[in-house]
Each structure stands twice: as structure tokens, then as C-alpha cells.
């Protein structure tokens, strides 16, 4: 039986790279997007051109009923769900004194409530032995200026990861988080991150920027047969940035 993976926010960037990589590993893939149907179709077309299965499903992960429908459509198309990758997210960088309440609420709506909504469905709908990978961030450990709200949202994702891993032991489902460092492709980031890109390569021992494919490689490991004994962990994929 072919395994099925839902990747949220996968019409571009890291999510797209994860969708393409998991399809090449034999998964039927659900490409989730919130607004850009054309980009989502390109990802589906690319996967299908390689002879693999994929569909695109529009859903806003911050809305509970959208997430219910996302799982419904995945099950209708492929018969069930084995893997959930929580990639959808936003990164809004401002000093805490300048952060508008609306931007705080938007960050938590997508990064935290979105993860909660998908985990809630996954808890009852993922098949036995499934895998969940949440996207966190290496910046949580760095405490860099302007990251306070973003880091708080990703720290919440880390906490959900550890706790839900314990809750889902009855279904033999692993739950982990991947925490990328600075990389060349960041979806949902604002201009402040992009303006600082030139600073990041010198901050890592490997003296470079990661790529979306670097993150996808690790997600593929965690969702594959060799990653089955890793559980409840937040693992940094950041070139050694401390």
C-alpha cells in the first residue's frame, strides 16, 4: 500500500522541496496551499511528470474546518494519511516594542494554531506507524534581535512536538521537529530577514547558507525507514550555527 503524505504550505520554498523529495521516495503527496493555486499546480505537475501521485488542496491551516477538509480530501483521494509535515508558517521580524498586535496574532494563528489544528486531526486520522514532522527554527536558541514573536511561536511548536510524541505512543506515531537555520529559500519572510541574508553565511562553521533541499533531505530521513527510532526531538539543520 502506497503511503500518503500531507505537506502544508508546499506550493513553494521548503514545502515544495519536501513534497518533491517525498514523492521521489514513493509517497503519494498532498500539496497544500492557501492562495497560490498556480504554484501548487506546478508542484503537482512536476511530481506527476516523474510518475508519482499528487493532488493540490487549498486550505488555510489557521482555520480548523479547512484542516478537516484537507484531511478529508487526502483520504478521499488516497485512502488514508501516513505522514504530516507542518511546514506552513510566517516569519515577521520586528523589535518587540514595534510589533503590532495584529502581526503577533497573525504569527500565532499560522505558526501555532495552524500546527495545533493539523496535529488535532493527525492524532485520530494518521494510520498506525505514521510520522509527523513539524518545522521549527534554529533561531529559537539564538535569541537574535527582532525574532521575539517568531521565536515564541516556534518554541510553542517545539513544546507541542515533545508532548504529542508522548500522547501518540498508542499508535506508534513518531513526532519530531526540524529546526532549519538561515537558508536561501524562506517562504513567508518579510524584508527584514532578506536584508540580513548577507550576514548569515559567515555565522556558520560551514560558512554558507542552507537550501530548501537540505531541509527536505532531513525530513525524508525522519519519514523514512531509517528514522523510525527518532522521536520527540527538535533537531537543528543549520550547518552548525550556535
Q: Mind listing the domains of the chain with CATH numbers?
A: 4-236 (3.40.50.720)
Q: Look at residue 208 in the predicted model and tell me its pLDDT.
A: 54
Q: Look at residue 57 in the predicted model and tell me its pLDDT.
A: 98
CA 223 from chain centre, in angstroms, equals: 13
Which residues have a catalytic role annotated? 136-137, 150, 154
Q: What percentage of the chain carries pLDDT values higher than 70? A: 86
Picking from 24, 79, 26, the residue whose alpha carbon sits closest to that of residue 46 is 24
Query: 27: alpha, beta or left, given left = phi > 0 and alpha = psi -120 to 50?
Result: beta
Query: Which positions of the chain have pLDDT values less than 70?
Result: 183-210, 237-242
Amino acid at each position: 500500500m502506497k503511503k500518503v503524505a500531507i505537506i502544508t504550505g508546499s506550493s513553494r520554498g521548503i514545502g515544495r522541496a519536501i513534497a518533491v523529495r517525498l514523492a521521489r521516495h514513493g509517497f503519494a503527496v498532498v500539496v497544500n496551499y492557501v492562495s497560490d493555486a498556480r504554484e501548487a499546480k506546478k508542484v503537482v505537475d512536476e511530481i506527476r511528470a516523474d510518475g508519482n501521485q499528487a493532488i493540490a488542496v487549498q486550505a488555510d491551516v489557521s482555520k480548523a474546518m479547512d484542516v478537516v477538509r484537507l484531511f478529508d480530501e487526502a483520504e478521499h483521494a488516497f485512502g488514508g494519511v501516513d505522514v504530516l509535515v507542518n511546514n506552513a508558517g510566517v516569519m515577521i521580524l520586528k523589535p518587540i516594542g514595534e510589533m503590532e498586535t495584529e502581526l503577533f496574532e497573525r504569527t500565532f494563528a499560522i505558526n501555532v494554531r495552524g500546527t495545533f489544528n493539523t496535529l488535532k486531526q493527525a492524532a485520530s486520522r494518521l494510520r498506525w506507524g505514521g510520522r509527523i514532522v513539524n518545522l521549527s527554527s534554529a533561531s529559537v536558541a539564538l535569541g537574535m534581535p527582532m525574532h521575539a514573536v517568531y521565536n515564541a511561536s516556534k518554541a510553542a511548536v517545539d513544546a507541542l512536538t515533545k508532548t504529542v510524541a508522548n500522547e501518540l505512543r498508542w499508535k506508534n506515531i513518531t513526532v519530531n521537529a526540524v529546526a532549519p537555520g538561515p537558508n536561501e529559500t524562506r517562504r513567508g519572510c518579510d524584508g527584514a530577514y532578506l536584508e540580513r541574508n548577507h550576514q548569515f553565511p559567515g555565522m556558520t562553521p560551514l560558512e554558507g547558507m542552507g537550501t530548501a533541499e537540505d531541509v527536505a533531505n532531513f525530513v525524508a530521513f525522519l519519514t523514512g525507514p531509517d528514522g523510525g527510532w527518532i522521536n520527540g526531538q527538535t533537531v537543528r539543520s543549520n550547518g552548525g550555527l550556535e
